């Protein structure tokens, strides 16, 4: 099992100096830094290589998260948007290969956050999503992408996949449609599971061997181990399914900027949001997570 943290914990905007956070994650003892896909299309080849070099030097594995913009919605009812989205993802996979990353996670089957004004076509979005993800999975494999994690999101952020049962059913349909999409996997996040799942351990068991990426955080998105999530239960369920993959904490504790707005953080969630205090909280959470999840 490898443990990581999402860089945006420390940021107010959806970009940041990834090299700075690679060094920070390494200094705090993490195996992984998760970065956002959004800024990568703006990087030059040289910048991508620098990120890769920095990660290699600091022995940090990079995973990538993406909340797809509406124009990159692989399930859009508009065929030209679907075509554009697939091209966007192919370019992204090439860039991921360049930085040495083989894992992308998020609402890849849709967009984020969904605009709930107007009508909603869950059945159509589901069916077009399966077709789009099948193509995406096949394309990703050509760039060495081993995991496309379809994140099961709570009802306030997306309508297509809310539960592990839905995510698992979706992934199975994708794999039935496209044999070369074995890299398409279920991704769970304790923050979303807390809202949607009757039983968190059953949700983990439902995903079983299809689980490909795991996000952690407390109910209010504090770092793991500081709130009331049933971590022992979660750890036991992960052990039961022999999960030995990536576990990335995704805390958000600061209001302000586009990150605060998109995540809907309207107050300081922890008493001290200075960088030193955030570092210290992350370090403690990593120790807690390693201890409670280690097989």
| Comparison of 178 and 189: residue with beta carbon closer to Mn ion | 189
Note if 151 is an active site residue: yes
Please state the closest distance from residue 106 (CB atom) to Mn ion, in A. 7
| Comparison of 47 and 245: residue with beta carbon closer to Mn ion | 245
| Comparison of 129 and 251: residue with beta carbon closer to Mn ion | 251
Please state the closest distance from residue 213 (CB atom) to Mn ion, in A. 9
Which two tokens mark 178? 């496209």
Please state the closest distance from residue 149 (CB atom) to Mn ion, in A. 9
With vertex at residue 7, the alpha carbon angle to CA 3 and CA 13, rounded to the nearest 5 degrees, is 160
| Comparison of 9 and 88: residue with beta carbon closer to Mn ion | 9
CB under 5 A: which stretch of 54-62, 95-103, 250-258, 285-293 binds Mn ion?
Answer: 250-258
CB under 5 A: which stretch of 197-205, 225-233, 249-257, 261-269 binds Mn ion?
Answer: 249-257
Kindly write down the DSSP assignment for every residue of 125-145, as one continuous string.
Answer: HHHHHHHHHHHHHHHHHTTT-
Contact 66, 37 (CB under 8 A): yes
Note if 250 is an active site residue: yes
Kindly write down the DSSP assignment for every residue of 16-33, as one continuous string.
Answer: --HHHHHHHHHHHT-SEE
Decide: is 250 part of the binding site for Mn ion (CB under 5 A).
yes
Which residues contact residue 285 at a Cβ distance below 8 angstroms, ignoring those fewer than 6 apart? Answer: 223, 224, 225, 226, 249, 251
| Comparison of 36 and 54: residue with beta carbon closer to Mn ion | 36
Could you give the string, one character per residue 139-158, with x where binding to Mn ion holds by CB under 5 A and - elsewhere?
--------------------
Please state the closest distance from residue 160 (CB atom) to Mn ion, in A. 15
Residue identified by tokens 């570092």 is 279
Decide: is 218 part of the binding site for Mn ion (CB under 5 A).
no
Taking residue 22's Cβ as centre, other Cβ atoms within 10 Å add up to: 25
Cα–Cα dist 64/52, whole Å: 13
CB under 5 A: which stretch of 24-32, 94-102, 247-255, 277-285 binds Mn ion?
Answer: 247-255
Cα–Cα dist 153/108, whole Å: 11
Decide: is 34 part of the binding site for Mn ion (CB under 5 A).
no
| Comparison of 157 and 281: residue with beta carbon closer to Mn ion | 157
Question: Could you tell me the sign of the dihedral formed by the alpha carbons of 280, 286, 289, 294, in that order?
Answer: negative
Which one is catalytic: 34, 151, 157, 197?
Answer: 151
Residues between 156 and 215 with contacts to Mn ion, criterion CB under 5 A? 189, 215
Q: Between helices 79-99 and 45-57, what is the axis angle to 10°?
A: 50
E strand spans, the chain: 2-6, 32-36, 61-66, 103-106, 147-151, 184-189, 211-216, 246-249
Please state the closest distance from residue 251 (CB atom) to Mn ion, in A. 10
Contact 63, 246 (CB under 8 A): yes
Which residues form the catalytic set?
Answer: 151, 250
Residues that bind Mn ion (CB under 5 A): 189, 215, 250
């Amino acid at each position: 099992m490898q443990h990581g943290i999402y860089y945006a914990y420390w940021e107010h905007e959806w970009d940041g100096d990834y090299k700075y956070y690679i060094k920070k994650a390494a200094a705090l003892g993490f195996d992984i830094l998760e970065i956002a896909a959004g800024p990568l299309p703006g990087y030059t080849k040289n910048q991508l290589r620098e990120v890769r070099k920095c990660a290699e030097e600091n022995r940090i594995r990079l995973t990538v998260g993406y909340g797809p913009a509406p124009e990159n919605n692989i399930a859009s009812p508009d065929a030209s948007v679907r075509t554009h989205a697939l091209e966007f993802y192919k370019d992204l996979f090439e860039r991921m290969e360049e930085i040495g990353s083989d894992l992308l996670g998020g609402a890849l089957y849709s967009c984020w956050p969904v605009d709930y004004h107007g009508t909603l076509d869950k059945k159509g979005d589901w069916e077009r999503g399966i077709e789009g993800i099948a193509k995406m999975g096949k394309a990703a494999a050509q760039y060495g992408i081993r995991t496309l994690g379809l994140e099961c999101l709570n009802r306030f952020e997306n309508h297509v996949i809310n539960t592990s049962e839905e995510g698992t059913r979706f992934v199975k349909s994708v794999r039935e449609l496209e044999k070369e999409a074995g890299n398409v996997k279920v991704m769970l996040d304790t923050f979303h599971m807390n809202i949607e799942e009757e039983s968190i351990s059953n949700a983990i068991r439902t995903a079983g061997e299809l689980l490909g990426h795991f996000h952690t955080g407390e109910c209010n998105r504090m770092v793991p181990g500081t709130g009331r999530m049933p971590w022992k239960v979660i750890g036991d369920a992960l052990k039961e399914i022999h999960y030995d993959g990536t576990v990335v904490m995704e805390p958000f504790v600061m209001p302000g900027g586009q990150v605060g707005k998109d995540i809907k953080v309207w107050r300081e969630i922890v008493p001290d949001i200075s960088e030193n205090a955030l570092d210290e909280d992350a370090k403690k959470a990593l120790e807690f997570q390693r201890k409670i999840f280690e097989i």
